A and B are shown apart, each in its own frame.
Chain A
């Protein structure tokens, strides 16, 4: 047992402690310096008159007041119609996207197609994902015209990029046991997919589709900005007319519709990935 060296309270006469050497943190220091420099350079070089920033909060509050103090509900009918247009674009884009991406994600997954095809598809997916959907819409609109169809096709192309990637990752992530079992029983590749892969990957796929639909709902409203129709189109117009109370109403519509769709889709996704609730299994 240790002998105590009780120090009388109040005195500072304590034995000197041997402190360990402080570890050098050059890595953290370098990272801090690099980030700081990049941020400072960006702030310093960007073309913004920072003096304006002082009046900005006041301005924004004023506009928020104009928009939301008394939203103008006169145009609600047309707003809902245009919202339906946007949601349609999102739906069609998602459906076309999933129909195309489903076979492609199998071809891009290890074990279902030759390596070169895999590489090409994966490159294609990542190229598509790098390009914003609005640019895809601009690129194809000279062929498809300024119609909601253009919007839907742009969303479909973009959906192929994300759904394809998530898809092959999910396929490669399934337990190989059932696949081997089907192969061992003499199953062909389609049979392997149907009985070895699909039962495992199906919940993931359905949940990816729903999630991509949520993304497409948001994206469809911005496609209106280039004139393909939908709520974004209407919002740009009224912003340009500076009819703020109508803009406020339109933003509220976007928020409510998007949040409702997210809520429904999110609930479905949870249901699918977690399975039915116990109470329901009891019945």
Chain B
């Protein structure tokens, strides 16, 4: 009884090398990207060299120039105007497109696929790139900024809302079909009411994103606080930049808080 028979271990599962292979690949890519030859040449020397002339400017970030405050108000207001208008237009455009992009509300695979492909492409270009191209097209001001934000918003809202429609119960829609409704009628009478909370939720979320994004669109001439950021950075007025960053922080936090409290009440 007490003689221990050698334990028969089951064979070790294969595939345990996979995480290690993943790690090796990540390290290899990181080494390449950091190398001076192919990569971005990470070097502490450059930083040390720049430190001498740059440090005092960075330190200026800690001393906001409060006297600059009045001049920041009009661009700040324009930033908020752009965010609100873009959110509104984006939401209005997105609502029908969301129903178009979801399988339950648009059974036609081809039109759905077409819309999704277009939106994937639209989503892969960041808002600031849109803005910089649009400024060259329609001129400096809030308008190109708003158009850039709308493109950005439609991409997000339609994706999120159509995904939330997909997980909704198909039964009520079937009832509408059984009662002889057209797809459009069913979407309006049944799918829309069930998708509404997701839609409002995403719209508020996009408003938060827009407030954040619209503060920098001016860097390429698309209106708002960014115009001012571009001006102060040209003269390395980091004390003024510091004030602008503080204002962005306050506005973003306020909008996020309000939006979050509304979203929480939404059921």
Residues of chain A touching chain B, judged by Cβ–Cβ distance below 8 Å, are: 38-39, 42-43, 45-48, 52, 56, 59-60, 63, 85, 88-89, 91-92, 95, 126-127, 130-132, 134-135, 138-140, 142-145, 147-149, 151-152, 218-219, 221-222, 225-226, 232, 235-236, 239-240, 242, 247, 251, 254-255, 258-259, 262
B82 / chain A contacts, CB cutoff of 8 Å? 46
Contact A92 B40 (CB under 8 A): yes
Complex CA distance for A260 and B219, rounded to whole angstroms: 28
Contact B50 A42 (CB under 8 A): no
- Distance in angstroms from A273 CB to nearest chain B CB is 15
Which residue of B30, B88, B120 contacts A95 across the interface (Cβ within 8 Å)?
B30
Q: Does B95 contact A (CB under 8 A)?
A: no
Q: Does B61 contact A (CB under 8 A)?
A: yes
A48 / chain B contacts, CB cutoff of 8 Å? 141-143, 146
Contact B245 A135 (CB under 8 A): yes
25 contacts between A and B (CB under 8 A): A42-B80, A42-B88, A43-B85, A46-B142, A47-B223, A52-B138, A60-B137, A92-B30, A92-B33, A92-B34, A127-B249, A132-B212, A132-B216, A134-B219, A135-B241, A138-B233, A140-B58, A143-B50, A143-B51, A149-B41, A218-B124, A221-B129, A222-B126, A242-B136, A259-B121
Q: Does B26 contact A (CB under 8 A)?
A: yes
Contact A47 B46 (CB under 8 A): no
Q: In the complex, which residue of chain B has the Cβ closest to the Cβ of A230?
A: B40
What 0/1 pattern do residues 31 to 42 of B give for CB contact below 8 A with A? 001100001111
A-B contact number at CB 8 A: 163
The verdict on A134 contacting B216 (CB below 8 Å), with A218-B126, A259-B120 known, is: yes
Contact A255 B33 (CB under 8 A): no
- Distance in angstroms from A141 CB to nearest chain B CB is 8
The DSSP consensus for interface residues of chain A is helix
The DSSP consensus for interface residues of chain B is helix
The verdict on A142 contacting B137 (CB below 8 Å), with A134-B216, A255-B121 known, is: no
5 shortest A-B CB distances, which residue pairs?
A: A258-B124, A143-B54, A142-B54, A148-B40, A222-B128
Q: In the complex, which residue of chain B has the Cβ closest to the Cβ of A257?
A: B124
Q: In the complex, which residue of chain A has the Cβ closest to the Cβ of B134?
A: A60
Complex CA distance for A140 and B58, rounded to whole angstroms: 7
Complex CA distance for A42 and B223, rounded to whole angstroms: 14
